[in-house]
Structure 1
Amino acid sequence: MAKDTLSTSETPGDRDDSNTGDNTKVPDDEVRSSHWSTPHSQASRARSSHPRQRGDTKNKPKGPSPHYSLYQRDIFKQGGKSGTLPSFSVHADELQESIKKKLNDRGYFYANSNAGLGWTDRANREAFYRWRIIPRTLVDTNTRDLTTTIFGHRIPVPIMFAPIGINKLYTPLGELVPARVAGELGMPYCLSTAGSQSIEDVARANDEGASERNESNSVHKYDGPNGGNAKSPRFYQLYMGHDDEITLSLLNRAWKSSFDVLMLTTDTWQLGWRPTDINIANYTFYYPGTVGNEIGASDPVFMRKHRAELARDPGKWIDHSVWHGKAHTWEKVKWLIGEWKRISNGRPFVLKGIQCAADARAALDAGCTGIVVTNHAGRQVDGAVGSLEVLPEIVDAVGDKMTVIFDSGVRTGADVFKALALGAHAVMIGRLYVWGMAHEGVHGCRHVVKSLLADLDILMTVAGYRSIEQDMFRNKEAVRYNPSGVPPRGEHARL
């Protein structure tokens, strides 16, 4: 594995492996005022005032966004001038396959195992295959606008980093890597409760990345709470455990570190049945010296209560405080929403794990500001529907009243396009960035994400769509459903 640093590198063949260190000061506790919108109909109103008249120059997007597409040209130029090639493939199938050679089984299957026979994971991909993009032609796409709106705030691209735990399985710096890259690109980042770096250190890495001013993270001004530098909302994902005092300690730490959106995962009170993990007893939290306890080991309340037990039982953090044996209900969610609103002065609360319209309406009634339409990437329930299959009905139920984020199976710019056309305000990526940082740390993570942004930007150019919000968002005329046919096992096109 390549030596990992938190240095900045903008092109795939010109890496800078000098360690910049961590000199960022802890953010001040002074709260900056920030307006948050609960009903999320701004984008719909914007689209109604900007009709889709493809040749009407008066309705060009306000942009431009950075030309993410130029990343492809830079790769071609380096290949032509010096023979420098990317060190690994960003084709999703090839990228996943190549990771098997970089990681041991415990690392590989922690991110890539699925529930049961893997039918839900396959359903996620097949759902994307069945929706097809309808290209337009002779459209002036020389200027494109990839920005979108979540919770009343503009973000530079409609893609955010999903919460994935124990990133140190993939790179020595763990969560500091994607947090840094997200900051550099101005993208929303979400930290998992199962992280292998502390809440405070991850916030500093995200701030450090955001302090590297560039056209990607300077598209819009964003004032985070408590002095944070992030240019987009910063999410903290919570697995709510058995002990309310520990839960509130985590929320207070997250808020003080400028995490201004709370995301509660609701589908993982119990780990799903994952045969590939069972075959190798792959539950990293139980192994001596596990790095999966860091958020608990850095929490004063948890350590006051369980320091002695943690020394002889490394799984104490997960068993007692996060997962096993405690399924919560809507009443507990309402309590948590109230506590988060009190701690954060009313910042957004997002429920992750919605797969039907009824639960989406219940989340709205409970007071949630947003939802994540996800099946945990097929890792919890085998034989379930693909998340993209249920997205349209969920959007029809609540899409004008709350922010809808999509997750599960996103691999390409075309996938992002389809989810947005079906009504998601933004999408999350997880395995993609994990595979990238497993290859080459910061550089690998950055390369994969910038490649995805270039893919989306180029797709909009050649398919004839100028603006995320004006042309693509909730535009079912941009896609068509094909109920027949499933993709080949690998997703390379084959005759």
Structure 2
Amino acid sequence: MAEQMSPMRESPVALADFADLARAVLPPEVWDFVAGGSGAETTLAANRRALDQTGVLPRVLCGVPTPPTDARLLGAVHTLPVAVAPMAYQRLLHPDGEVALAAAAGAAGIPYVASTLGSVPIEQVARAGGDVWFQLYWLRDRGLVADLLDRAEAAGCTALMLTVDVPILGRRLRDVRNSFAIPADVVAANLPTGRGSLAHAATPGVSAVAAHTGAVFAPAVSWDDLEWLRERTSVPLVVKGVLDPRDATRAVAVGADAVVVSNHGGRQLDGAPATATALPAVVDAVGDRCEVLLDSGVRGGMDVLRALALGAHGVLVGRPLLWALAAGGRSGAEAALSLLADEFRDALTLAGCADVVAARHLRTTRVE
């Protein structure tokens, strides 16, 4: 795990600054595990390029004072149109892992999405955060899926997010080259395998994480499974990993309350489109029948504004918050979320938006 910096030796002035701080303290193989994508990493690069090429046309002479940044997501009002993305094994980045990041999200007033592959049990994460959602990977053992659902609801999780783009783990070449395995003191705490899982079995030329997920994830999750899940839970249901508008429309028909336009941060199908490219068609397809969130590539407040202008109701933020966690634990994550809020408020003001709703009426243009 990381050599911890507490307090941080430097004060970042932008959310993106945390990446350099994290890289300075993380083992190279852990940096690669978090930063890398699948295949040639073309989709990973495309996510960033598509956001950078999204120009937002600001409105002028609006007489807008400092705009509020609060937004409604899944029926609840949060301080930003932002949720912390589900991310596995956060104790790789800092000993406090998910507890620290969930607590920072709770203090910031935004949802934290706890991962099935979290390195701290969901019950402990839920106690640390404010509004906690639970992210589910579909497992081969349907009984274990049902148990996770019961645990999440008993812990007070307010939404369920099903990730649908991982029938198998994408071939992540950095992990293969590093023969990456999870250290023995970091476990998938929500699963029964613990330290005996394949994720800890280092083998030359093999990603132990891919071997583990291949053993426990169901490779053929279907619409029938989503229907079962909708009937099984009463909390809002979010489907993450949608890029084709046809899938978004069907998810709504099954009863999804929101879809997340996501390519798993460029970590699954290498060659899938950037999420900012896919987003408008999904928004058009679902209309006002469900919320649409954007995931993958968000690196600052301007990206939040770009996503809203493209039609999203909000975004998931991932890697930058892991970098902040690595750099300074909970205080690092709190600093990062404070910077994100400042960046987003500045972007709203400069775009002439009275509030978050107004940002969804902005127009965009392509910037070369």
TM-score (norm 1): 0.68
Q: Aligned partners of 2:120 and 2:332: how far apart in 1?
A: 19
- Contact 1:243–1:321, Cα closer than 8 Å, also in 2: no
Equivalent residue, structure 2, for 1:99: 22
> Between Structure 1 and Structure 2, whose CA radius of gyration is higher?
1
Deviations 1:417-454 (A, max 9, x none): 01011111110100011001101111111111110110
- SS where residue 149 of structure 1 aligns? strand
* Aligned mates of 2:141, 2:214 — CA distance in 1: 8
Q: Among all aligned residue pairs of Structure 1 and Structure 2, give the percentage whose two residues are the same amino acid.
A: 31
| Residue identity opposite 1:172 in structure 2 | P
- Inter-partner Cα distance in structure 2 for 1:364 and 1:164: 25
Q: Distance in 2 between matches of 1:461 and 1:3?
A: 34
Q: Distance in 1 between matches of 2:106 and 2:171?
A: 35
**How far off is 1:321 after superposition?**
7.1
Q: Which of these residues, 119, 123, 126, is aligned with residue 46 of structure 2?
A: 123
Report matched runs for 1:83-482 at 5 Å. 87-91=10-14, 94-206=17-129, 230=130, 232=131, 234-284=132-182, 289-296=184-191, 302=192, 311=196, 318-319=212-213, 322-323=216-217, 326-340=219-233, 346-469=234-357, 471-473=358-360, 475-477=361-363, 479-482=364-367
The separation in 1 between residues aligned to 2:336 and 2:165, in whole angstroms, is 28
The one-letter code of the counterpart of 1:472 is: A
Aligned residue type for 1:416: V
Q: 1:378, 1:319 → 2: CA distance?
A: 17
Q: 1:175·1:202 contact (CA, 8 Å) conserved in 2?
A: yes
3-state SS, counterpart of residue 295 of structure 1: coil
Q: What is the CA–CA distance in structure 2 between the aligned matches of 1:319 and 1:188, rounded to whole Å?
A: 26
The CA distance in 1 between the partners of 2:154 and 2:61, in whole Å, is 50
Q: AA paired with 1:327?
A: A
The CA distance in 1 between the partners of 2:16 and 2:316, in whole Å, is 18
Note if contact 2:56-2:362 (Cα within 8 Å) is conserved in structure 1: no
SS in 1 for 2:160: strand
Q: What TM-score does the superposition give when structure 2 sets the normalisation length?
A: 0.91
Query: Tell me, which stretches of 5 or more residues in structure 1 are unaligned?
Result: 5-14, 16-84, 207-229, 297-301, 341-345, 486-495
Once residues 214 and 310 of structure 2 are traced to their aligned partners in structure 1, the CA distance between those partners, rounded to angstroms, is: 39
For the structure 1 residues 130 and 249, does the alpha-carbon distance in structure 2 shift closer, same or farther, using more than 3 Å as the test? Answer: same
Residue-by-residue CA offset, 1:48-97 (whole Å, 9 max, x unaligned) = xxxxxxxxxxxxxxxxxxxxxxxxxxxxxxxxxxxxx9714354555323
Residue 137 of structure 1: how far off its partner (Å): 2.9
Amino acid at match of 1:480: T
CA RMSD after TM alignment: 2.2
Q: How many residues align?
A: 357
Instruction: Sort the Cα spacing of 1:91 and 1:156 in 2 relative to 1 into closer, same or farther, 3 A.
Output: closer
Taking structure 1 as reference, are residues 282 and 328 closer, same or farther at Cα in structure 2, changes over 3 Å only?
A: same
Distance 2:111 2:15 in 1: 22
Q: Distance in 1 between matches of 2:354 and 2:21?
A: 35
CA distance in 2, matches of 1:141, 1:86: 37
Change (3 A) 1:185 1:97: closer
Check conservation: 2:136, 2:162, Cα contact below 8 A.
yes
The 1:313/1:385 distance shift into structure 2, 3 A limit, reads closer
Provide closer, same or farther for how the CA distance between residues 462 and 349 of structure 1 changes in structure 2, counting only shifts above 3 A: same
Q: Which has the higher contact order (CA 8 A, sep 6+)?
A: 2
